[in-house]
Amino acid sequence: MSRFEEAKEMYSQLGVDVEEALNSLQKFPVSVHCWQGDDVVGFDGSDSLTGGIQTTGNYPGKASTPDELMDDIDEVLKLVPGTKKLNLHACYAIFEEGEKADRDALEPKHFKPWVDFARQRGLKLDFNPTIFSHEKAQGLTLSSEDEEIRRFWIDHCKACIRISEYFADELGGPVVMNIWIPDGLKDLPASRLAPRRRYLDSLNEIISMDYDKEKVKVALESKVFGIGMESYTVGSGEMTFGYALKNGLTPLMDNGHYHPTEVVSDKISAALLLAGELALHLTRPVRWDSDHVVLFDDETKEICKEIVRCDGLDKVYMATDWFDASINRICAWTIGLRNVQKAMLYALLEPKEMQVMQDQNEFTKILALQENLKTMPFGDVWNEYCRRNQVPNDLDWFAEAEKYEEKVLKERK
Ligand code: RNT
Ligand code: ZN
C-alpha cells in the first residue's frame, strides 16, 4: 500500500472521506493577489506606496513591467496546486505607448492584456479600485471634505465596476470588486461622524449605478488602523459590515485588520448567517497590519475550518493579501498560497462527527480528537494533492523556484 493509501485508510477510521476532501478542495477557488510581484506599485505611474500600508525590503528581481509580472505569476501558478483566480488592482492598468488615463477614466480596454492572459490560463478575475498611491489620496478619499476629490474617487469606483462587469462578461463571474479606503486620522478626531457620513454618501452613489449584481460582487473591506492613521479609521468594522448588510454588498474581512486578540475565525459563522456570503483577505499580522506571508499556523487553519464547518465553500470568496519584498517574491507568493491550500485541506479532513459531539456535550472527546488529528498523516494526503495537480511537492518546489531566480530574476536590473 502506498503512503497515501495508508493515510486514506487511517482517516476513514475517523469517518473522513479523503477523496471527497480532495475533490472539494479542487473546486474551491483562491484569488491570487497580483501585487506581491512588484511591491504594490502597479503600472500607472506611481512610484511610491501610500495609504498607510508599506512594503519593506529590496530583494532583487522585482517585476517592473506587465510582461515580467505575468511571467512571475506563471511561475507561481506552476508551484501552487488548486483552482486559482487572479486578483487585480486598478493601478495594474496596461496602457499603450503614449496613452495615459487617470484613475477616474479607466476603461475595460486598459485591462484587455490581463483578460487575454487570464483566458489563456483558464483563470477568472477579481478586481479592486486603487484608492491610494495617488496625488488625490493624500488625505481622505471617498470620505473627503473636498468635493472634487470625493467625486474623483466615486468616479474611479464606478469605472472599476464597469471594468469588473467586463471581466465577468469575458471570463465568467462573479467578479469580486473590493473597495478598501485608507481614510483615517493620525490623531484624535473632532468628528468621527462627518467622514463616515461622507463615505456612506459616496458608497450610496457608487452602488446606485446600474450594474449586474450577479456578475459583480461589490465587497467592502474594513480596517482598524493604518500607518499615519493610528487614531481613527473611517471604514471600521461596524461601518463596512453594517453598510454591506444593509445594502446587499459583500463584507470583506482581512485578518490583519483587527485587534491582536480578535480573530476572523470567530466572525465567519456570524457573517455567513447575517450576510449570506463573505469575502476574505488571508494575510499574517505581526503586531500590526504587517502583511507577512501566510503560514500553516493555527489561525489560518481555524479560519479554514470555520469555512468548512459552516458549509461555506461556495459562500466564501477567498483571496490572499501580503507583500514581502525582503525575500524572493515568487517564494513569498508560493509559500503563502501553498499554506492557504494546505490549511483548507487540513480543514476538509476534520471529522464531521465532531460537530454532533458538541451537541451531545462530549467535550472531552472533542478535545482528544482535535489533538489526535494533529499527528495524522496529513502530509501524505497533501503530497497526493500536489501530485494530482502536477505541481512539485514540499521537498521539490523550492529548487524549481531557485532555478527561476537564476534564470529570470537575476537577469533583471
Ligand atoms: C490594506 C488592505 C488592502 C490592500 C490591498 C493592496 O490594508 O489590506 O486590501 O492590502 O488592496
Ligand atoms: Zn486586505
Per 3-state DSSP, the chain is made up of helix, strand and coil in percentages (nearest 5) of 50, 15, 40
Q: What DSSP character marks residue 213?
A: T
User: Ligand 2 centre from 229 Cα, in Å?
Assistant: 16
Sequence-distant (6+) residues with CB within 8 A of 395 are none
Report the chain's terminal Cα–Cα distance, integer Å: 51
Please tell me the predicted confidence (pLDDT) of residue 46. Answer: 86
- Location of C-alpha cell 501524505: 380
Please tell me the predicted confidence (pLDDT) of residue 47. Answer: 80
State yes or no: is 85 an active-site residue: no
Nearest CA to ligand 1 atom 10: 321
Please tell me the predicted confidence (pLDDT) of residue 389. Answer: 98
- Read off the pLDDT of residues 8-54 as tens digits, 9 standing for 90 and up: 999 999 999 999 999 999 999 999 999 999 999 999 988 889 999 99
Ligand 1 pocket residue status of 40, Cβ below 6 Å: yes
Ligand 1 pocket residue status of 224, Cβ below 6 Å: no
Q: Which residues of the chain have pLDDT under 50?
A: none
Of the candidates 289, 324, 350, 380, the residue annotated as catalytic is 289
Ligand 1 pocket residue status of 41, Cβ below 6 Å: no
State yes or no: is 100 an active-site residue: no
Pocket test for ligand 1, best of 221, 224, 225, 252 (most atoms within 8 A of CB): 221
Residue from 205, 86, 105, 212 nearest 160 by CA: 105
Please tell me the predicted confidence (pLDDT) of residue 413. Answer: 78
- Read off the pLDDT of residues 329-346 as tens digits, 9 standing for 90 and up: 999 999 999 999 999 999
Please tell me the predicted confidence (pLDDT) of residue 410. Answer: 96
Which ligand lies nearest to the CA atom of residue 35 in the structure? 1
Give the three-state DSSP class for 136.
Answer: helix
Nearest CA to ligand 1 atom 2: 180
Whole-model pTM? 0.97
State yes or no: is 281 an active-site residue: yes
Give the three-state DSSP class for 33.
Answer: strand
State yes or no: is 223 an active-site residue: yes
